[in-house]
Structure 1
Amino acid sequence: MKDNFNVETKVADLLNPTLKAMGYRLVRVRMAGSQNKTMQVMAERVDEVNMTVEDCALISREVSNILDVANPVEDAYSLEISSPGIDRPLVCPSDYDRYSGFDAKIEMVNTINGRKRFKGQLLGMKNNLVRICIEEGTAELPFEDIRRAKLTLSDEMFMVATKSAEG
C-alpha cells in the first residue's frame, strides 16, 4: 500500500506540469490490483467543460509517452484515463469550496466524535477544516485526516451535470 502511494505521488509529480500545460487538472493517480495492475489517471478540464472521449485519448497519448520515458513502475500495468464523473472524489482543499452545497461522503483516518464516516452537505473549508452539515449539526473535519471523500449522487448534482453536458 505504501509502495503504491509512493508510485502514485511520483507519477502525479511527473504528469502535473504536462497536463496543466494542456489545459487539464490532475484529479488523482491510483494504482489498483495486485497481479494485473492498473494505473488509473483521473483528470478534468480546467475550463470546467465536460471531458470527452477525445480529451481522454489526447491525455492517454501524452501520459503514455511520459511514463514510457520515466518508467516509474517496475511491473507491467494497464493505463486507464478517466474523468471524475458525477460522484467525483474530493482530493484537494479547493474541491470542498468548489462543491459547497452538494452532498458528500467523507471517511476519516481517525475517529472524530465517535465516528469515522460522515455523510451530508458540504459547507466548504475554514482554517483547514472541512465543514459538513450532518443530522447532528455541523461537523468540522481536519483535511489532513481525511482518508477518502467523494460527492454523492443527488437530484441537484444530476441536474447540474445534465445542464453542463447540454452546453
Structure 2
Amino acid sequence: MADIALLTRLIEPEAKALGLDLVRVAMFGGRSDPTLQVMAERPDTRQLDISDCEALSRRISEVLDAEDPIEEAYRLEVSSPGIDRPLTRLQDFTDWAGFDARIRLAEEIDGRKQLDGRLNGVADGTIEVTLAKSGEPFVFPFTSLASAKLLLTDALIKATAPLSTEGADRIIEKEA
C-alpha cells in the first residue's frame, strides 16, 4: 500500500498553490480497486467547487506521475470533505466546537474506544467532548485519535448552508 505521509507531503504544496487547505489523504479499496482519496477545501468557505477539484486533480496527477510513489494502478478521487466531514486536524476540533461528532480512539481511554458527543474545543493538544449519552465531559489527547467525523444534524445543515447560491440551478413551477 502507498505511504500516506509521503503522498501528503507531495500533495499539500499543490493544494496550497491553489489556495486550498488539505483535509485528508487516504487510500481505499485494497488491491482490487485502489483509490487515492484527496479531500480539500477553501479556507474561507470550507467548500470546494468543481473547478477547484479539476485544478487540484491535474496538479496532483502531474506530481504523482513524475514522482511515481504508488506502485500499482489506482484511481484518483478529489473532493470536498462534505457536510459530515472527517475531522483530521487539531484545528478542526476548534473550528467545529458546538457540533456533534463520532470519535474513534486508537486505544481505549477510561473504558471508551468509540464515542459520540458535542465538541467543546481544544486545550494544550487535548480535545474535550460532552458525551451524548451521559452529558459528562470526556477529554483525550489528539494523538490518541484514530478517526472522527461530524454527525449530520439540523444544526450542522444550517451552519454549512452555502454562502452563496449564485449560479445554482433553480426550478420555478408555474400554475397552469
Scaled to the shorter chain, the TM-score interval is: over 0.9
Summarize the Cα distance change of 1:22–1:130 in structure 2 as closer, same or farther, 3 Å threshold.
Answer: same
Summarize the Cα distance change of 1:26–1:14 in structure 2 as closer, same or farther, 3 Å threshold.
Answer: same
The aligned residue for residue 156 of structure 2 is 157
- Structure 1 gap ranges (5+): none
Percent identity over paired residues: 37
Q: CA deviation at 1:154?
A: 0.6
Whichever residue aligns with residue 26 of structure 1, its letter is L
The aligned residue for residue 131 of structure 1 is 128
Q: CA deviation at 1:163?
A: 4.7
Using the size of structure 2 for normalisation, the TM-score is 0.88
Which is greater in Rg?
A: 2
Whichever residue aligns with residue 158 of structure 2, its letter is M
Whichever residue aligns with residue 50 of structure 1, its letter is Q
Q: Which runs of structure 2 are paired with 1:5-154 in the superposition (5 Å)? A: 7-34=3-30, 35-48=32-45, 50-134=47-131, 135-154=134-153
Does the CA-based 8 Å contact 1:108-1:116 persist in structure 2?
Answer: yes
Which whole-Å CA distance do the structure 2 matches of 1:43 and 1:76 have between them?
23
Q: CA deviation at 1:136?
A: 4.0
Whichever residue aligns with residue 149 of structure 2, its letter is K
- Structure 2 gap ranges (5+): 167-176
- Please give the per-residue CA displacement for 1:4-53, whole angstroms capped at 9, x wherever unaligned: 4xx11101101111211210011111111122111001111122252111
Using the size of structure 1 for normalisation, the TM-score is 0.92
Does the CA-based 8 Å contact 2:41-2:80 persist in structure 1?
Answer: yes
Does the CA-based 8 Å contact 1:31-1:38 persist in structure 2?
Answer: yes
Which whole-Å CA distance do the structure 1 matches of 2:147 and 2:111 have between them?
18
Whichever residue aligns with residue 4 of structure 2, its letter is E
Higher strand share: 1
Does the CA-based 8 Å contact 1:49-1:164 persist in structure 2?
Answer: no
Which whole-Å CA distance do the structure 1 matches of 2:153 and 2:139 have between them?
22
RMSD: 1.4
The count of aligned residue pairs is 163
Which secondary structure state, in structure 1, belongs to the residue aligned with residue 17 of structure 2? helix
